[in-house]
Amino acid sequence: MIVRVVDHLQKLATKDDLDALFQQYAGKREEVIKAELIPKLEAELRAKLAEEGGRSTEGVAERARRLADDAIRALQQADFAKRASEIGGAHAVLESVEREAQQHADAASAHAEASIQGWRRVAEWAYLVGEIQKAEDAINRILTANENDLDALNRHGQICELRGDLHEAKRLYQQVLDLASDDRERAVALGNIGNVEETFGNLDSAMQYFKRSLDVFAQIGDQCGVANQLNSLGVLDCVRGNLDSAEWYLKRSLAIKGRIGEYLGQANCLMNLGTIEQTRGNLNAAQAYYQRALAIDTRLSNKKGMANAFGNLGCIERTRGNLSAAVRFHERSLAMSEALGRKKGMAQQLGNLGLVEIMRGNLDAAEDHLQRSLEINEALQRKEGIADQLGNLGLIELKRGNLDPARRYHERSLKIYELLGHKEGMAQQLGNLGLVEQARGNFDAATGYLQRSLAIDELLGRKEGMANQLGNLGLIEHAQGKLSEARLLWARSQSLFTQVGARDSADRVQQMLDGLPPE
């Protein structure tokens, strides 16, 4: 039965199920597949309801259409990966799809719709594998034929978003929202506007857009759309430090993506779940999530996803003290983002490379990386990125002994994080302000900052942050001759660093413990 095959496909289809669909629908255009598949799905659903005692058939036609959409989406992704493995990689598939589109275009108006569908596939796959100019060219062909083609306008917005032209991206998404004639198109536009608002740091506005989009997708039964917005809400909660809530959203999204065979979405969810585990200090679990995401993105040649994974794996290696490995990951990620023209990714990896140079003591090199990152983030008006790099530049000034500039950087960073409700960032900057006061000998003020930072990290379950602040509080106790208190704080700090896998930090605290006189 067709429904059985589709249901299996929605549950990460078996090879036999995929082969059955490949044989039945290979080479056919999407609208042809829908014309054949939807009536069969509807008939089978009605028959199934009749067998179950004459249950109401209201909404069956819409469910059949949604099942067909999900099946085609999963089939296209599986088909891309299958063809890539058979004919020499993703770029070879793209060239093949591009040739097909050009053939339809050359066949004049009789194949106008086929030509548009062909260029739509070119745009989709070119964007995926990082051929952004080729994707834009395909989109422009579609918009030349129909300036109000909503799919093309959405894709154009995604390219603008990738390149950091957020205002133009938002304008295009708003245009789609204004032109949309059905609920799904409106829901997609709402979600995309939410993404832009999130990048701007307008988290409350982003949440409202995501929830509006989620409500519409749920009403029309679009499971892929529901999963996308659950993922987006999970990311927002992660930024705000609500890790349990974020995990709940992301695991729900991942389960749906698995059922409908939407591989790109699975990779995205896995990446975000890795971020949660990394924040908690569970580096092995985070690494496992990132590697699973990377495997999917590599299979699909999703350069954006691969760049994200390499960057996150670099952060794990940096925490572990493996700085050479961290640099290799960050440089690979940076190179991919540069090739894509993805400014947000470039800014993130320049910032990460700056942090590595701080750890190495190369402050001038670190400052160069961080200033470049800050400039990009300011051009993007990306508040979180601005706060990140202001805080990192403050660390450089602190290490140079320039305490007043350091304090100004950390206070500016803290203010932005507080506006965003970004708890992890708030904890980091409170800790850094504590270090400034500690360097000045203002131990009471330093203790106040460090304890506030520690309280937030404990709320988040952020082990690395807790370890840092316990260690710093121990230094203050030691400076005041309170050796027993210092010993207790350092022992807790050393234990947490060991749990996280931050070997260099654990060893450094152990050396401080070893330097204490016997009890």
Which span out of 93-102, 181-190, 293-302, 440-449 was modeled with the highest average pLDDT?
A: 440-449
Tokens of 226: 């529901």
Q: Is the pLDDT of residue 34 over 70?
A: no
Which of 27-31, 333-337, 448-452 is predicted with the least confidence, judged by mean pLDDT? 27-31
- Residue 22: which pLDDT band, with cuts at 50, 70 and 90? very low
State the Cα–Cα distance between residues 376 and 398, nearest whole angstrom. Answer: 23
What is the DSSP code (8-state) at residue 518? P
Cα dihedral 279/285/290/291 (nearest 10): 160
| Of 383, 444, 376, the residue nearest 196 (C-alpha) | 383
Q: Is the pLDDT of residue 190 over 90?
A: yes
- CA distances, 268 to each of 2, 173, 230 (Å): 29, 21, 12
- Residue 37: which pLDDT band, with cuts at 50, 70 and 90? low
The pLDDT of 392-413, averaged and rounded, is 98
Using an 8 Å Cβ cutoff, are 463 and 496 in contact? yes
Tokens of 463: 């082990």
- Length of the chain measured in residues: 519
| Of 425, 509, 426, 431, the residue nearest 474 (C-alpha) | 509
Instruction: Report pLDDT for 349.
Output: 98
| Of 101, 97, 122, the residue nearest 113 (C-alpha) | 101
Q: Is the pLDDT of residue 44 over 80?
A: no
Local structure of 165: helix, strand or coil: coil
Instruction: Report pLDDT for 23.
Output: 47
Other CB atoms within a 10 A radius of the CB of residue 86 amount to 10
The pLDDT of 275-302, averaged and rounded, is 93
Average pLDDT for the chain: 85
State the Cα–Cα distance between residues 181 and 192, nearest whole angstrom. Answer: 17
Other CB atoms within a 10 A radius of the CB of residue 145 amount to 15
- Residue 375: which pLDDT band, with cuts at 50, 70 and 90? very high
Q: Which phi and psi angles does 296 have, rounded to 5°?
A: -65, -50
Q: Is the pLDDT of residue 110 over 50?
A: no
Instruction: Report pLDDT for 261.
Output: 80
| Of 187, 180, 250, 261, the residue nearest 219 (C-alpha) | 187
- Residue 372: which pLDDT band, with cuts at 50, 70 and 90? very high
Q: Is the pLDDT of residue 7 over 60?
A: no
- CA distances, 286 to each of 197, 264, 313, 338, 407 (Å): 27, 18, 9, 25, 32
State the Cα–Cα distance between residues 361 and 222, nearest whole angstrom. Answer: 52
In this prediction the pTM is: 0.78
Other CB atoms within a 10 A radius of the CB of residue 400 amount to 12
State the Cα–Cα distance between residues 280 and 273, nearest whole angstrom. Answer: 11
State the Cα–Cα distance between residues 467 and 4, nearest whole angstrom. Answer: 52
Q: Which helix (H) or strand (E) holds 74?
A: helix 60-87
Instruction: Report pLDDT for 89.
Output: 52
State the Cα–Cα distance between residues 207 and 214, nearest whole angstrom. Answer: 10
Spatial CB neighbours of 202, under 8 Å, sequence gap ≥ 6: none
CA atoms within 13 A of residue 433's CA, in its CB half-sphere? 25
- Residue 10: which pLDDT band, with cuts at 50, 70 and 90? very low
- CA distances, 458 to each of 21, 132, 227, 281, 455 (Å): 51, 43, 30, 12, 5
Tokens of 333: 């990620």
Q: pLDDT digits over 52-79, tens only?
A: 666 666 666 766 666 666 666 555 555 5
Cα dihedral 121/117/341/195 (nearest 10): -100
- Residue 92: which pLDDT band, with cuts at 50, 70 and 90? low
Residue with tokens 């679009």: 222
